[in-house]
Amino acid sequence: MSVVIVTGGSRGIGAEVCEQAAASGYDVVVNYAGDASAAADVAARVESHGRRALAVRGDVSSESDVVSLFDAAVSLGPLYGLVNNAGIVGRSARLADQDVSTVRRVMDVNVVGVFLCCREAVRRMTDGGAIVNVTSTAARLGSAGEWVHYAASKAAVETLTFGLAQEVAASGIRVNAVAPGLVNTGFHATAGVPDRLDRLGPAQPMGRAGDPAEIAAAVLWLLSPAASYASGAVLPISGGR
């Protein structure tokens, strides 16, 4: 069977992508940055669907870690898919009050990390494949007063998605992105604003935040043969926002 690598696969949207990928018949490499127990739990969920799983620790901003991640994936079989889900936001602050160390770290993980993983993927997808990058509606909305630096990093990923899609189309590799809106994960608490979902959820056009499973379903569609003519697309999954 084909293998899919999911970066940041131990929690939130990434964990749901791993489980839905397994339910769709893929073997899954669960990449994680620090929580080995959570990654092991996700791997067990993958295996409960009768698929093989491999949990691999690695910082996507580290070239050596990314190369090791992709080398490890070979043990499961040929690489078909990559889901670039790993990402960080840093603390919430106006741009004038943001520190440069936070901005650099966000860019390293969110932009350089996606670049490195895409590079290693296209080097190995000799029989074609599919890449799905997880961006954000922040790339379009700007996240003024909160995370302008994060929004900028996701806009960069959307540009990378479009450009790489054109580069590798003739090789049978499709590159797309999903842009989630407000989603019910631990993302906001990590950024120091645990009440953000409660504050903003009711103000969404659909009156609620999204569920990680709803985002994962879109990712799996873009990975699948059903999306065979989709490449260079950014699909907003944002409840109408």
Residues identified as active-site: 150
Pairwise CA distance, residues 156 & 111, whole Å: 7
| 3-class secondary structure, 56 | strand
Tell me which residue of 130, 134, 131, 150 sits closest to 142, measured CA to CA. 150
Length of the chain: 241
Burial 14-25 (b: 16+ CB within 10 A, else e): bbbbbbbbbebe
What single string gives the DSSP state of each residue in 65-100?
HHHHHHHHHTTT--EEEEEE----------GGG--H
208: Cβ–Cβ under 8 A, 6 or more apart, which residues?
A: 201, 202, 239
Q: Letter for the amino acid at 114? A: V
Pairwise CA distance, residues 120 & 60, whole Å: 11
Pairwise CA distance, residues 1 & 198, whole Å: 41
Q: Which two tokens stand for residue 84?
A: 């670039």
